[in-house]
Structure 1
Amino acid sequence: MSFERYVALGDSFTEGVGDPDPSRPNGLRGWADLVAGELARHSENFAYANLAIRGRLLRPIIDEQLETAVAMRPDLVTIYAGGNNLMRPKLDLDALAAEYDEAIGKLAATGARILMWTAYDGSWAPVFGLLRGRWAVYNELVRAIADRHGATIVDFWRFDEYRDLRMWDFDRLHMSAAGHHNMAIRVLDLLGVAHGLGPVEFDEAPVLTRAQERAADRAWMREFLVPWVGRRLRGVSSGDGITPKYPELGPVRF
């Protein structure tokens, strides 16, 4: 299986937040770049664009990225959208799904292979437990959208290896470099593309005392959660002033 025109859409998940690389645009690598690098090995004419911007809700992703992606005439599209909506206090899931469905329909009309993601089940982390029902409903709506348009589901909800905190950045919302690497493998395997990415391997996980776990939770709340809530209250997005890493289709040069 080979592709020649890959366009990645979405938010921080696809931009690569959590996998820093100062040599790349926005200082990030991420799973989509890793996938593009492997796909490029199979076609000398391969081109890649990554339009994703951190912090984007579904509607801005549609407004800012969809028509650009369609105009690129892709043969492969990846899109994970709606994750930031799921973190908001108020949400109309049916309205969100209707918008997402329309967007996927436009992408499907290009004839491209489309990959969509379910939300990850992070309920093992107590702070996210209250959101589990919302995530589960979102996932069923996403599955229905994929069925209607012939898209392929990347079933993040069922990826149990992400229960290891080392798959996550300090903020516990974005994947770490290891998490991005593993996601790239998952995507390439799902596409049936041969690749040279080795499996993620960790040493045995350290056993923390309950006191150490509580200290880590307090540090996370102080250094991430409180500032994050503050930005939400001020209407500030982490993506303000950020531009796409690769706004035009072009050869892979990394």
Structure 2
Amino acid sequence: MPFFQQEPPTMAGEAHVLVVDDDAGIRQMIADYLGDHDISTTALPDGSGVDRVMAEEVIDLLILDLKLPGEDGMHIARRLRDHSNLPIIILTGRKDEADRVMGLELGADDYLTKPFSPRELLARIRALLRRARAQQSVAEGLARVRAYRFAGWVLNVRQRRLSTPAGAPVALTNNEFNLLAAFLAAPQRVLSREQLLDMSRLHNDEVYDRAIDVQVGRLRRKLEPDGAQPFIRTERGAGYVFTAEVETVR
């Protein structure tokens, strides 16, 4: 039975995490620690039961050891990403950077190298659940919106096309479109770099806060070529604000 898209992630206190690791001590440690923080877990020693659990339960996040008997974690992560955006944290006892890079390239969202701190694991779980909820919220909003209008500009959501007040098309990269859509979904509000990372769905190769500064700079150059009408204001130490009034076309 193949993997499939799960329900949107729940609040951390209601989350259900699937742990796949062949080390019984690690499975028990994770289950006990997360249970103490109101996160339920299902633990498996290998990948043979993953499809069954995913079919029978609502899983909000997967903790996956890369080195497993039978089907290894790399293959499980690859299969999962073909059908689902479920957040994945990979675990590895190996020090080789190539293993971690390969896991991230296959679609994992984060990694920890054994031995690891349960407290750090919990923090990473909570961060990924927050990000997944933010992404889901923006995706649901875009699904209900045909276009955004601001100061004569139009962002056609369905066609992913931006037009100037004169009607000229402006090419946007995927990241620029996602970032602009995040701004337009929350105009005249201060959005932190972390919120923008979450809402714009930038992937792990760009998780650093300063990557948002780079993306905002690129978007500004397209929206404000002469600087005459700035749309994105920097709030020092806080984030960014999209200053224009935005009309939503549904």
TM-score by length of 1: 0.27
Greater helix share, structure number:
1
Greater strand share, structure number:
2
* Higher Cα Rg, which structure: 2
TM-score by length of 2: 0.27
Greater RCO, 1 or 2 (C-alpha within 8 Å, sep 6+): 1
